[in-house]
Amino acid sequence: MSAAPPPTPTDLLDLPKVDLYRRLGGALTSAASPLQSNQSSTASANPARDMLAEHSLPQTIESWEGRMAQNEAEMASSMGLQTALRTVVETAQAENIAHLELAVSPAALAGALGSPEAAFDALVDALEAIHLDEGPSLGWLISVLAATPPDDLARIVGLARERKQAGIFGLVVRLAAEDPAEVDDMLVETSAADLPMMVHLAPDVTAEAAFERLSRLAPARIAFGNKTLLSLEALAWIRQNRPTLLVCLSAERATGMWAGPDVHPIIQMIQAGMQVNLATWAPGLLRHSLTGEYQLAAESHGLTLEALRGLSLAGVQASFLPKVPKRDLERKFEDTIFGFPTGV
């Protein structure tokens, strides 16, 4: 039997998709075309790569995080949240993204708006102002640092729980080596209170610490990109608990985390039965798009259209959507991608 032909750009653009981890402050740095190449011909065309040339990996990622937080503060101070959100939604429509989860830092917004309460009000107002007839479903992921002083973190987490019915889907928690020990207990309680959590490991988290904290926090999703997740202990936990691993190939390539596409473990992850989904994280900063991520997965890693369809459907199942909208979107994807009847 001959090998399946590689998917065409039209195949990938037509494929319905979800983006489960896009940072608002990294979404609008540039206007990337949905089919723009993920590889820049010169370092100057990619500010993320410029950072890597000047700094170590941890410094580079911190620079990205700082730039995205600054962008979000500027949006808030200029009353541009609604405009930014509308632009992101229109870009998602052009890429056939049916569901979008946008991470945003309330701490960054609070600096411009005066308080965390005002930041959450602005997020809810921005969602309510979007009136698109055929737009993607969307909501906010509240991005926090576990290193935040516990009282401040508790305040933000409490506000996220209060507004869960107003478009706050869950938490993105960035874990680092020097986080206060008591933070994990509060995060476990929050997750148990039906506010789902994903984690993003900083580069300084060791393999032992990664396993210990994953075991305590039991996140529903993990942002891949830290090689400590490939330790035997962490892999065993991932296989047993089956969180979704969100992979941004462009980010991992830009940081130099992997020497080349032939050594990235995405194929092994899929073959091992891990739940993998492609996300963008910072498409403006990285000069890429979600469709471009699918294209990169096909061209550099040999994923077939059938495999990419499976990843797309798995992304719906991994979303933080409420139960009924998730079921409806899953049926729509099954019908669109595989021709399954939706009325059953």
Across 50-64, 66-80, 187-201, least confident range: 50-64
Eight-state DSSP code of residue 281 = B
Cα separation of 213 and 180, whole Å?
12
Range 122-147 average pLDDT: 89
Range 270-283 average pLDDT: 93
Beta-carbon count within 10 A of 173 CB: 27
Cα separation of 247 and 276, whole Å?
7
Average pLDDT, the chain: 86
pTM value? 0.89
**Helix axes of 232-241 and 207-217: crossing angle, nearest 10 degrees:** 20
Is the pLDDT assigned to residue 19 strictly greater than 90? yes
pLDDT band at residue 59 under the 50/70/90 scheme: low
Range 51-59 average pLDDT: 51
Segments of 219-279 assigned E as strands: 221-223, 244-247, 275-278
Cα separation of 203 and 177, whole Å?
9
pLDDT band at residue 31 under the 50/70/90 scheme: very low
Q: What is the pLDDT of residues 166-193, one digit of tens each?
A: 999 999 999 999 898 889 888 888 876 6
Q: Which residue has the tokens 């990664």?
A: 210
> What are the chain's domains?
9-30+43-334 (3.20.20.140)
Contact 175/205 with Cβ under 8 angstroms?
yes
Is the pLDDT assigned to residue 258 strictly greater than 90? no
